[in-house]
Chains A and B, each alone.
Chain A
Amino acid sequence: MSDFTNNFWNLYIVVLTVLGVLGCAVLLYSQSKYKVAKHNGPVGTTGHVWDEDLTELNTPMPRWWMWMFYLTIVFGIAYLFLYPGLGYAGKLGWNSAKEYKAELAKADSEYGPLFEKYRQQDLKAVAADPQAHAIGERLFLTYCAQCHGSDARGNKGFPNLTDKDWLHGGAPDAIKQTIMNGRHGVMPPMGAALGSDKDIENVAHYVLSLSGSAASDPIKSVFGKSKFSVCMACHGAGGVGNQAMGAPNLADKTWLYGGSAETIMETIRKGRDNTMPAFGDFLGEPKVHVLSAYVWSLSNETR
């Protein structure tokens, strides 16, 4: 209940509030007992005089105003009784989390049918729908653009979604799977397994040669080839990768962290640990469905 580690400050506020309300009531009552003498013409003054002749009139306030003051006290007490103001949940049981959930539910009931309609459709059909495309784009800009960029072309460490290169497969269902459950890609540190710095450098140059990179040193590459056997378990014999386990294809020119020999050596030495968070629970399947269709359409001609 309390947001504080002990209950003192909670109590402090409760006491202040109660004393405040009581104080107002007592002051009001005592002042209302104070009678103003009947008068004809100007009322008396408070006795204060400034600037020689400026005096303050002792004008009584209208009775209805007095009642308004009492009403505010009644209102305040009722409010504290109904809402959580005195450290308990309040008679109405209101809280902001509940209100937020209610608003979410309202929005879902409003837009839910639209997403539900698309969920019934095949992902490729959804991708071809202009309205779904527009919704997908907005969802992407809101939830995905922080990592993958507004244009979905990614960043260092964050895959480009507009090309044909996929770590876990680019089929519509594979993309949906990725967004729903997230992915965790781990490249273990291989420095110790490969041997010396020299060996690591040689392997890096061999890796470069797989994609025909001009940066690859042919001699180092030849030496590195034999050591590459350590990498084959994941990246395959020709370094073409394995989408089932998310091992990247090393034989193309697409690099997640950069395609220089230094970067590859760093990858081999320290390994990489990359996470795509799961959005299934957060966004819900119907929204992910539309989003998946949009992401798939980024690298596939749909219209």
Chain B
Amino acid sequence: MYEARQEIYPREAKGRYASLRWLCVWLTQLAYYGLPWLTWNGRQAVLFDLTTRKFYLFGLVLWPQDFIYLAALLIICAWLLFLVTAVAGRVWCGFACPQTVYTEIFLWIERQIEGPRSARMALAKQGPSLRKFSKRTAKHLAWGLVALWTGFTFVGYFTPIKVLGAESFTLAFGPWEWFWVLFYALATYGNAGWLREQVCKYMCPYARFQSSMFDRDTLIVTYDAKRGEPRGKVAKDAGKSVNGGSCIDCTMCVQVCPTGIDIRNGLQYECIGCAACVDACNSVMDKVEQPRGLIRYSTDRAMTDGMSAQDIRRRAMRPRVLIYCAGLLLVVVAVGTSLALRTPLKMDVIRDRGSMGREVDGGAIENVYRLQIMNTSEQSHRYCIAAHGMPGLALATANEVTLAGTETRAVPIRLRAPHGAGETGSNKITIQLTAVDDPALTVSETAVFIVPR
């Protein structure tokens, strides 16, 4: 129950959508390869420091306690994907997915070394020769270099890339750095160089559930069968095929397809919406002096009902899309507000469990707490500790503590309440921490003060 893979040699497509894809390649890769090299506050601007469990994102420092933001980020990504897919189909796959982007880069290298589609196919058919060997070696070397650089950059997000860069001259990486540089490089090389459309067809889960976001008004790459059929060889009176349809059966759309499908068979799960066939068909239509758009971005409804571009645009604003928009907006606003209001200071109050409350001179009652204080900002701060909630409640230990930037410390404190200040048993109190130099920097935690019988 298996079959050997059929090699695909995609022809280069040129046109509006190909240019758009290259723009996406440039934007995403400039960001990916460039970000780790930026400096902010004297440190790497974007650094996920796993050893000290701190994520630096420009001015923002995220701690493990801020994990919720990762969840929020994933929710935003999901909503965005739903929204974009509902409106415009698999544009993520066709233009921004790393698999597509790296395949595009690797294909470009392949073209530079082995030549266009026909030359590549001929080279593949050829028996072993010095020419074939040298071309293949050059290609794999170039792929390998790009892959290694990609792996190196990847690790640069987790360990300071400038140190890593210095290490790379002497190959003095640590064991885990070696592993991830090579692993990520191998993954890039394998996925973009060898697996290509196999990832989209057999491995990518998104291909499997995209259809749940599709409806009849979703933009898809589609072949206008009404106009194209019956297809046939191009006739003398340029324009129509011998059989009368616009499709001249030149198979250009099949040759450029990176997943090797024939779009004229209708919407298929293998179609990643890259629109290479649109570009290819348009250039052919130009040549045979026919209007463009035999293969185009359109919707299922538009195809069957014959809608104009304007109607398609009007149908884009449907309940499903509006709900996705609302959900997205809600999460973005919530996350933005939460990030803006975040205080870079955290405190946990841990009551000593060994003793409930103890009586000291004059009948006053003391309770012991441990304050786990995290200064999550990058500056050193002096904090004032205060307690409220019972008359006369005060600290019996030092009420100030200084923490260096990003320091975490457990501070034992003793609270004292005068005789008769509270009920026997537990009393609700509040412990407050305020930065002396910045009163806005304040957190308070509720705790329990126990008055023994």
A interface residue numbers (CB < 8 A to B): 31-32, 34, 36, 60-66, 137-138, 141, 145-151, 153, 155-156, 158
Contact residues in B for A149 (Cβ distance below 8 Å): 352, 354-355, 368
User: Which residues of chain B from 194 to 250 have any CB-CB distance to chain A below 8 Å in the complex?
Assistant: 198, 202
Question: CA–CA, A155 to B354, complex, Å?
Answer: 7
Contact status of A65 and B202, CB under 8 A, knowing A32-B1, A155-B355: yes
- Would you give the shortest CB distance from B190 to chain A, in whole angstroms? 11
B interface residue numbers (CB < 8 A to A): 1-5, 198, 202, 352-355, 358, 366, 368-370, 397, 410, 412-414
Contact status of A34 and B354, CB under 8 A, knowing A141-B410, A145-B370, A151-B397: no
Residues A64 and B198 in contact, CB atoms below 8 Å apart: yes
> Closest 8 interchain pairs by CB?
A150-B412, A155-B355, A60-B3, A150-B370, A66-B2, A63-B2, A151-B412, A151-B368
Q: What residue of chain A has the Cβ atom nearest to residue B414's Cβ? A: A151
Which of A36, A145, A156, A158 lies in contact with B1, CB distance below 8 A?
A36
Residues A62 and B412 in contact, CB atoms below 8 Å apart: no
Contact residues in B for A150 (Cβ distance below 8 Å): 352, 368-370, 410, 412
Residues A141 and B198 in contact, CB atoms below 8 Å apart: no
Contact residues in A for B410 (Cβ distance below 8 Å): 138, 141, 150
Contact residues in B for A62 (Cβ distance below 8 Å): 2-3, 5, 198, 202
Residues A60 and B1 in contact, CB atoms below 8 Å apart: yes
Contact residues in B for A63 (Cβ distance below 8 Å): 2-5
Known: A36-B2, A150-B368. 11 other contacts (CB 8 A): A31-B1, A60-B1, A63-B5, A66-B2, A137-B412, A145-B354, A145-B412, A149-B354, A150-B352, A153-B414, A156-B355
Q: What residue of chain A has the Cβ atom nearest to residue B369's Cβ? A: A150
- Would you give the shortest CB distance from A64 to chain B, in whole angstroms? 7
Contact residues in B for A60 (Cβ distance below 8 Å): 1-3
Question: CA–CA, A137 to B371, complex, Å?
Answer: 13
Contact residues in B for A36 (Cβ distance below 8 Å): 1-3
Contact residues in B for A148 (Cβ distance below 8 Å): 354
- Would you give the shortest CB distance from A263 to chain B, in whole angstroms? 14
Residues B370 and A141 in contact, CB atoms below 8 Å apart: yes
Residues B368 and A65 in contact, CB atoms below 8 Å apart: no
CB<8 Å pairs between A and B, sample of 23: A32-B1, A32-B2, A34-B1, A60-B1, A61-B2, A61-B202, A62-B5, A63-B4, A64-B5, A65-B202, A141-B370, A141-B410, A145-B352, A145-B354, A145-B412, A149-B354, A149-B355, A151-B352, A151-B397, A153-B358, A153-B366, A153-B414, A155-B354
Residues A153 and B368 in contact, CB atoms below 8 Å apart: yes
- Would you give the shortest CB distance from B195 to chain A, in whole angstroms? 8
- Would you give the shortest CB distance from A45 to chain B, in whole angstroms? 14
Q: What residue of chain B has the Cβ atom nearest to residue A147's Cβ? A: B354
- Would you give the shortest CB distance from A35 to chain B, in whole angstroms? 8
